[in-house]
A and B are shown apart, each in its own frame.
Chain A
Amino acid sequence: MLPLITVLAISLVAGYGGALLGLGGGILIVPALTLGLGVPIRVAIGASLVSVVATSAGASAAFVRDGFTNIRVAITLEVATVLGSLAGSMVTGLITPAAVQLLFGVALAGSAIASLRIPHDEAREVVADRWSRRLRLAGWYPAKDGRRIEYEVTRVPLGLGLMFVAGATSGLLGIGAGALKVAAMDLGMKLPLKVSSATSNFMIGVTAAAGALVYLVRGDVSAMVAGPVALGVATGALLGGRALVKTETRRIRRIFVVVLVVISIEMVRRSIFP
């Protein structure tokens, strides 16, 4: 029973740490399973994708209810992100496990460094582009004092392109690619950061589900691995999300970032010198 307990414990920590970093649990769970327990990388990615779906379902429900998620933006971008996820999932089946591990190591280091980015949410003057006007993407979200803060959306084609890349990264590496999605909406389409985060969370579930379906039907989802991973990561993410609200997490985030960089170096090293 030791592997089951170990996978459950690792997943709890990964979900907790992922929530603190805002990266999701997938980015931590794949290296933990492959480097720590010797699980084949395709099986680890399959388990991770399923856990991403669980985390997204749990986290996004409240954002949707409270009005932070822009559902029209999400649906529009999901066309690109699901298409990307399908492409990424297929590529994983075609390239060698060592190549997947190398790509994962590089993506892990990039995500770790990107998570240190200081968030900004200043008011911006945004002029809606014609896609945004046609699709009626502009929206509002509730401020703390109950006011409605209205916003416009722009550069939709750029957002679609970046979402394809985010989806491909998700399907290829088994991660939510939330950091990439938030950056695409926040920096690319000029959505407010709170709306970007909530909408990204909402979209991650569908993106990961597209990849997870490919892995599940292909036989890359092991009940022994994906079961405890889904349960552990979802529970850890719930606890991490609560800790994020209540505690000063800057120091913990820095520790996790150092851990991520070390893991990424190890993954790259093992992919080149197995």
Chain B
Amino acid sequence: MSEPAPRPADAHPEDPTLRRITPVILRGGLIVAMAFVGAGLVRYVGRPTEFATQWRLLVTGARHPPAFSWRAEVEAALRLEPRGLVLLGLAVLTATPLARVLLCAITFARARDRTFVLLTGTVIVLLSVAIVLGRIG
């Protein structure tokens, strides 16, 4: 812990790669996600009675949204069902920050920065734990 601190401007050799690719991942993920969400909302507009019925069930507490399942939502999206399209978009959106953490992990691994590989790896593990916790409820 006693090594001299490097000059700030030289301390982050991984920066150019991360600064170039991270914005592409973030914007790309957002655009793809919003395209799915937008398509789903357009499909909802075409089914006003179904939307009204489901909305009433939701706000009266009569029916809670079902748990997310990748397989079910992908199949529903392929059938162009509004719920499947929207949830698939939201899943892509939620996975976007995870993708940029993965990019960080790969970049730090290539720079042989073991401390930051460990830190990014911990974040990835914690995000995976979120899925398990969601299933437990």
Contact = CB atoms under 8 A, between A and B. Distances in A.
Contacts of B130: 85-86, 89, 210-211, 213-214, 217
Contact-residue bracket for chain A:
35 or more
Contact of A139 (B2, B8, B59): B8
Interface in B22-47: 22-23, 26-27, 29-30, 33-34, 37-38, 40-41, 44-45
A71 interface: yes
Contact of A54 (B12, B23, B33, B54): B33
Nearest to B24: A61
Interface residues of B, number: 74
A180 interface: no
Contacts of B82: 223
A79 B58 contact: no
A53 B97 contact: yes
Interface of B, secondary structure class, is helix
A192 to B, nearest CB: 12
B29 to A, nearest CB: 6
Given A61-B23, A89-B133, A213-B130, A221 B30 contact: no
A57 B96 contact: yes
Interface string A49-82: 0100110111011101101000110011011001
Given A54-B30, A231-B38, A234-B34, A75 B120 contact: yes
A75 B123 contact: yes
Contact of A227 (B1, B27, B40): B40
A61 B83 CA distance: 28
A138 B93 contact: no
A93 B94 contact: no
A216 B91 contact: yes
Given A71-B18, A224-B54, 8 more contacts: A1-B45, A61-B26, A65-B19, A130-B2, A216-B94, A219-B68, A222-B58, A227-B37
Closest 8 CB pairs of A and B: A217-B134, A223-B86, A219-B67, A61-B23, A227-B86, A213-B130, A138-B8, A205-B97
Interface of A: 1, 3-4, 8, 37-40, 43, 50, 53-54, 56-58, 60-62, 64-65, 67, 71-72, 75-76, 78-79, 82-83, 85-86, 89-90, 93, 128, 130, 132-140, 148, 150-152, 205-206, 208-228, 230-231, 234
